Every structure is written in C-alpha cells, then in structure tokens.
A and B are shown apart, each in its own frame.
Chain A
C-alpha cells in the first residue's frame, strides 16, 4: 500500500496540495501516482510567473511507460518551481511528498479551497482502493 499523508489534500487525478499559512500552496503527485507511473524520466513544470487555473493542465510527468498531465489543484500564480526535477526526476519516485514537490502557487482565490472538490486523505484512500478493485 502506498503512503498517503493525512495533512494533505488530493485530486482524483492524483495530485497533492499542501496549503501554507502564507497563502501559497505546494503541488506534487501522490505516492500512489508515482508508483503507478513507474520510473519518471521527465517532469515539465509551469513557468514561474505564469497563471494556472484550478482543474486545468499545469505540467506533464513522463515515465518509461506513459506521459500524464499534472492538473493545478487551485488557481493562482506560480511563484516557485522545483528546478532540481529537471536533472533528477527520480526525486518524485524517491520522495513524492518532499523533494519531489513540483511547483508552488500563490492562491488567487483562497475561497476556492472550500468550493473546489478537493479530497481529504481519507477520501483519497477510498478512491485509490476503489481503483484497485
């Protein structure tokens, strides 16, 4: 069973979101997602300064098996990206919730956190289990 961190929020498309107290949030993909993708060979993050919209594509992850879009869990401006991933995409496989973070968004509308259908860790576990059926 893959690791699912209780303090994070998730998307059905397997991204995680960690909201910080300064109105920003970090985004990555879940342990389950990296496991399903296999060894990553390429991560494309959005550009710093660009605007992303909740539910829309913000980047791409590519493994030897498949390529998959990364969706922005919330809307806002990209204030930082994990530049290390360009050289070491395997950080996502090794530490999806830590060194494998992908980008940081400054939320344009914090109220979105309530209105959007973000999954709690519990709901996400249920969703992953349902997929495994």
Chain B
C-alpha cells in the first residue's frame, strides 16, 4: 500500500503541534509566475502513520543486514559500520564542495592517500577518483584509450575486442566511445579462445576489455599471452574491476599487463551496492595513459617543509579527457573507501581475496558433493562459482528460477540467476569474505532440501515462494504492462 492511499485531507504529521502563524506564510521573494497554482499532491497523514508506514516497509526488505545475500558478480558483502560512521563526521559532511583548498586539507589528504592506496593495490601508475560509478569509469577508461590513439594520429583503430563472458556494460561503453565491438568466444573451460583472439587482432584493434576473474568465476589463465597478443597489435588492455574483490592485495591488474582499469568502490570498498547508487568508479592507468586522466585529481606539494594538497586540473594535465562531473565524484563513497582501506591495512587487504575465494571454493565443493553440476568442473573457483540446473530443468521441470524462488522461503537471498548467458539454467554464487561457515553450510543444506522437494513435489517448488511478503510475481506481465506512475485520485 502506498502512503498516498492512506491520505486524508487535512491530516498533518505534526498533528499535536499548535497551529502557528507559519501555516499560511506566503513566500514573497519567489516571482508570482513561478508559484504553483495547484496544491502539491502530497500524502496527508499523521506522524504515527508515517513512522509505521516506513518502518513496516523496511521490515519487508531483504538485505545483507538481515540475510545471506550471495548475489554473484555483485559482491554484496557487509560494509563495516565504522567506515560509514567515519565518512559521516561533521567536518566531512559540512564541507562545501567549493570550499577553498586551504580549508579542505583534511579531505584532500584522505583523497590523496586513497589515490596512493588504489595505485598500490592495482599496480597502476596513476588514479583518478572522479568517475561517479562503474559505467562512468569504463567510459573514462575507453575515452583515454581513444585519446591515446588519437594523440599518436593512429586513426585506423576502430574496434574494441570483448570476450563473450563480459558484463553487458563493456560493449555498451565501447559503442558510447565510438568503437565497433568484436566478440571473442570463450572455450568450455571458461578461458578466452586464444586462437580466435589471434585471428581477431589487427591494425583496427584499439583495445580489449576484460574482466579477470571473469564472470565465469574462473581466473583467466592465459592473461599474459592475451596481453602480449593485444599489445603486439598496438592495442591497449582495459580491466573491468567488477571482480576485484577476488584478487585484492594478491594480484595486480598492472602486473597482468592491463593499461587502464576501473574499480567499483561501491562493491569492493565498503559502500552498500545494488540500490542504484551513489557509487564510485575510479580509474587507474599505466604509464602510457597518465597524460589523459580525467580531472580533477588531488596533488601533493611540499611548501616550507609541509605537505599541501591541491586540485590538479586542465592546467596541470593539458591532455586530460576532461571533467566527468561537477566536482570530484561522490565524496561520501570515496571517504568510506578510504576508511575501509585504512581499517584493513596492507595485511588485511589480501585477506579479503583469500577469504572470499576460500568461501567460494568451500561452497563449490559442498555443492558438488551434494550432486549439483558445476559449470566448470575441475577449475578452481575465484570469489564466485557457477552451477547449472539444466538437468533439474530437463528431468524434473524445475528450473533455475524455481529453485531460486524456493530458496527465499529458506531465508536466503537467491544468487544471480541466468547470468552469465553462456551457461544455461545457471546460478552464479558469490558468498563474499564476510560470511561464516555456518551460513555457507545452511545455504547448501537448503539447496539439498530443495533438490529433494523437486524430486518429490515439483509443483510445490514451482509455486514458491510461500512465506514471503509477496508470492511469485508475474515478471512477464510486469515488463509487458509497465506501470510505474501513481496518480492522485480526482481532486474534488
């Protein structure tokens, strides 16, 4: 029920407060022509109604704070409250984005340190924090690849190569930057088809965009050869940081041969993710792309033996691809990332990769032992792994979506379903590093139960979920008859 539907004309949320003269105050400095003629269609409800409405809504939420949430390729991990609290310090919250540098030294120092930390973690030579999200980071990265080729007057390069296991944003980015996309197939072990890659590279290759570990949940074993193949053809390598959690502090994209990358701080570095923002998608670059980084970047100078931080802009980086937003990214998200990195420290950073990988491999083994079919048997999982429920769909008529819906009844959020598209009836499971073995065991036990239920009573599983706030939604109807707008009842 929408709060509007509880509306009663004349009801106020400050119902107990005495009526004061402010009720009918006319705001005089707004020109008459700009004032609304009709009353705004706001819900008229009591304070208690508002409190109960939103509290009850929040109780229906399925979140990492209430349940295990193994959504593959999304890294729905727990983000420490400490990072959140620190980013909310009044000094940070109250700082105006246009405050002079002299009054922003604390904030700028944190941002400078964050740039340095990210450089070290990724093995890149420069980092710009300014992209507001992963997609904008990708855009900045490919725009830099373009700027690099253009600066060399190498205008023949019109293609970006993308393995078929890529996230959909990669081809979208390449097209946005004016490139044609050429897809490179992935073999049955989840590796890029090297022969196909060698055939595809050439003088028209601007670059290759890759996620490693890939969305197949495996580490690309031929990465060195892929890098040299693309480099020899004169192309650059783009690293999609979607799965950075798996290699944090263990392997640097820079060492794998990547020239440019983005990081999803809202996945890997302590900002809740999946709510549609705000995010942060900093870009890191190797030597060759340093001159093209998006501005502003935070620089450090020594003045009278003291560190002074300042914004670097077009004057400092004349070949920059330019600004991407009004200020410098989402300050709050960047601060959370800074605190998270400092909380982990150098010792903690690689434990993120180790535990997320250990958890995924433990779950994978348990799933395999329980009889579930792995998409890439024999491969070690990275921070996530894929099972395919093809045989269940074929033999029992219970598909990956039915399994996922039934899982909700057991109190677990479903993993990513039907992605990557390469694997039929798949589940992409990412437990993350913050879960205990009990939770992982509980999830696998629930899967075993659902398997049993599917064999005994497939119809029951196909009707799930049963104990949630809503039953199975008709997603086809929802998509075909999209209805997102609420209209007020006819005004009397």
The 0/1 profile, CB within 8 Å of B marked 1, for residues 65-95 of chain A is 1100000000000000000000001100000
* Cα(A65)–Cα(B475), bound, Å: 10
In the bound complex, residues from chain B placing their C-beta under 8 Å from that of A36 are: 424
What mask results when residues 447 to 480 of chain B are scored 1 for a CB within 8 Å of chain A, else 0?
0000000000000000000000000000110011
Closest to A65 in B: B418
B418 near A42 with CB under 8 A, answer no
Q: How far is the CB of A73 from chain B (nearest CB, A)?
A: 18
Q: Is B421 an interface residue (CB 8 A)?
A: yes
B interface majority secondary structure = helix
Nearest residue (CB) in B for A131 is B424
Instruction: Map CB proximity to B onto A1-42 as digits: 1 under 8 Å, 0 otherwise.
Output: 000000000000000000000000000000000001001011
Q: Does A64 make an interface contact (CB < 8 A)? A: yes
Report the minimal beta-carbon distance from B18 to chain A, rounded to whole angstroms.
53
Q: In the docked arrangement, what's the CA distance between A96 and B476, Å?
A: 18
- For B168, give the chain A residue with the smallest CB separation: A67
Contact yes or no, A41 B476, CB < 8 A: yes
Q: Which residues of A contact B479 (CB under 8 A)?
A: 41-42, 62, 64
Q: Closest CB of chain B to A88's CB: distance in Å?
A: 9
Residues of A within 8 A of B476 (CB): 39, 41, 64
Interface flags for B407-436 (1: CB within 8 Å of A; 0: not) read 000000000001001001000000000000
Which of B418, B421, B475, B480 has the most CB atoms of chain A within a 10 A radius of its CB?
B480
Most buried by B among A39, A62, A64: A64
Contact with A along B470-492 (1 / 0, CB 8 A): 00000110011000000000000
From the candidates B421, B424, B475, name the one contacting A64 in the complex (CB within 8 A): B475
CA distance A39 to B418 in the complex (A): 14
**Contact status A66-B418, CB under 8 Å:** yes
Residues of B within 8 A of A66 (CB): 418, 421
A26 to B461, CA, bound (A): 40
Q: How far is the CA of A119 from the CA of B421 in the complex (A)?
A: 23
Q: Which residue of A lies closest to B400 (CB)?
A: A65
Kindly state the separation between the CA atoms of A80 and B332 in the bound complex, as whole angstroms: 52
Q: Is the CB of A89 within 8 A of B480?
A: yes
In the docked arrangement, what's the CA distance between A108 and B103, Å? 68
Query: Measured between C-beta atoms, what is the minimum distance from B180 to chain A in Å?
Result: 10
Give 15 A-B contacts (CB < 8 Å), ordered by A residue. Answer: A36-B424, A39-B476, A41-B476, A41-B479, A41-B480, A42-B479, A62-B479, A64-B475, A64-B476, A64-B479, A65-B418, A66-B418, A66-B421, A89-B480, A90-B480
Q: Which residues of B contact A (CB under 8 A)?
A: 418, 421, 424, 475-476, 479-480
The 8 A-B pairs of least Cβ separation, nearest first, read A41-B479, A39-B476, A65-B418, A64-B475, A41-B480, A66-B421, A64-B476, A64-B479
